[in-house]
Each structure stands twice: as C-alpha cells, then as structure tokens.
Amino acid sequence: KAGVTQTPRYLIKTRGQQVTLSCSPISGHRSVSWYQQTPGQGLQFLFEYFSETQRNKGNFPGRFSGRQFSNSRSEMNVSTLELGDSALYLCASSLVPTGRGTGELFFGEGSRLTVL
Amino acid sequence: GNSVTQMEGPVTLSEEAFLTINCTYTATGYPSLFWYVQYPGEGLQLLLKATKADDKGSNKGFEATYRKETTSFHLEKGSVQVSDSAVYFCALSRTQGGSEKLVFGKGTKLTVNP
C-alpha cells in the first residue's frame, strides 16, 4: 500500500511569508505527527493529531499550527517565516496515537523548506 | 524531562567492521526504546524496538538490548555493509500525564566504505 506522502517536497520562501505543507497518511492510519529536522537541533516534535483533534504539542511558537481533516490528511502552516524555520519537515502516521500502540511511526520523505 | 543522548558522529567504518552506536536515555518509569534509520533522501523507518527491560530488539543483523540499570540501548552490528550507510536515531516513547510523543536523539551518521 502507498506510504506517507508529503507535498511539496521542496520549496523556497522569503522571510515574512507563510507556508502550508500537506501530509497524506497511510490508508487506515488515523494519527499524524509532525517533526522539524535541522542539523543543529535534530528531530523536534511539533504536534500530533488523531481523529481531527490535536493530542499533543511541542515547544514551538504559535506561528506553527496544524490541522487534520476527516480523511486523516493533515496540514501544517507556518506564518511569518523566519530564517531559522529552514528545515526538513517530516510527517509520520500510525494506526493509533503514539503511546497506545507499538510506538512505530511511518515517516514520509519530508518537505524541505528554505527561507531566504 | 525525557531525553535521549547518542554518541556524536560521524562514524566511518570499513565494510565487515563491527559497529556500536551508543545511546543512553533519561526518563521516569519504563519507556519503550527504538532505533530508527534514515537512508539518504528518505524518511525515517523503524529498525528495531524493545518495550521492557532486558528485551533485545533485532532486525537486518542489528541488535540492541534494553538495559535499565545503565539506562542504555546501544545499537550493534557484527559486520556492516556499504548499504548500511545512513543516519541512525535512538528514540524513546513514554506516556506521561496523558500525553505521549517519541523523543529522538540527534542522530549518528554512519558511512561504510568498501
């Protein structure tokens, strides 16, 4: 079956702009998590959604937001972009919320955002 | 809070060499422990896991044993291949206060030369 699909794969924005990233989970998976990956900070948890509800949120400013739709697809939005937002944004899906299952997440290939 | 510390890379080995990547964790209670691998240009994928003390996770020749007494989960492989070149992430999963997330180490880049 198809894996986790993230779009777009690459994008370039300028400071002050906003960006929306999309994630389609594996069919049947209802939990979607987002992570930011940078060389300096590694993988940092952004948020997790399950059944259209945000279950958990990482330590990021309010400029970072997300949502999940009834078909489990998820979007994350970053407003007023800063240079430091340049990163690989990874989406991961699982059948059940993290902690209730095996802890296995299925990751997409990521969306690489460059802020100029 | 919960945290994971991995040995810093990069690690460069010759084919058929023995691999150890150290991972220690800080957590209250009994977390589940994982190793994820990220091949070039791809997302992360689960390599192996252990859910309780003394469990050994294994996959594709890699092994790691959950050591509660040393709070460690070191990754080992007896004979690495060029195709093992990737970034390896140690992670823990812990339910606390009704919320849950995977906490990852910063990753260790492994390069295996022929």
Q: Integer distance in angstroms from the first to the last C-alpha of chain B? A: 41
Per the CB < 8 A criterion, the answer to whether A90 and A10 are in contact is no
Report pLDDT for A105: 86
Residues on chain B touching A105 (C-beta within 8 angstroms): 44, 46, 102
pLDDT digits (tens, 9 = 90+) for B91-100: 998 765 555 6
Cross-chain residue pair B44–A58, CB shorter than 8 Å: no
The pLDDT tens digits for B48-80 are 999 889 999 999 999 999 999 999 999 999 999
Between A97, A99, A107, which is nearest B44 by CB?
Answer: A107
On whether the CB atoms of residues A103 and B34 are closer than 8 A, the answer is: yes
Helices (H), chain A: none
| Structure confidence by residue, pLDDT tens digits, A96-115 | 765 555 567 889 999 999 99
Residue B3 has pLDDT above 60, yes or no: yes
Record: contact A109-B43, CB cut-off 8 A = yes
pLDDT at site A64: 97
Token digits of residue B66 = 């959950």
**Closest listed residue to residue B35, CA positions, set B84, B83, B105:** B105
Task: Tell me if A103 and B106 make a contact (CB, 8 A cut-off).
Answer: no
pLDDT of the residue at B2: 82
Q: DSSP readout, B75-108?
A: EEESS--GGG-EEEEEEEEEEETTEEEEEE---E
Asked if B102 and A98 come within 8 Å (Cβ–Cβ), the reply is yes
The confidence score (pLDDT) of residue A100 equals: 54
pLDDT in tens, A29-80: 888 999 999 988 889 999 999 889 998 888 999 999 999 999 999 999 999 9
Higher pLDDT: A116 or B1? It is: A116
Contact assessment for residue A112 and residue A55, using Cβ atoms and an 8 Å cutoff: no
Collapsing DSSP to helix, strand or coil, A50 comes out as: strand
Quick one: pLDDT at residue A23? 98
| Bond prior to B10 in cis (omega within 30° of 0) | yes
Taking alpha carbons only, the member of A51, A71, A6, A17 closest to residue B43 is A6
A6-37 pLDDT per residue, tens? 999 999 999 999 999 999 999 998 889 999 99
Q: What is the mean pLDDT of chain B?
A: 91
CA distance B10 to B68: 27
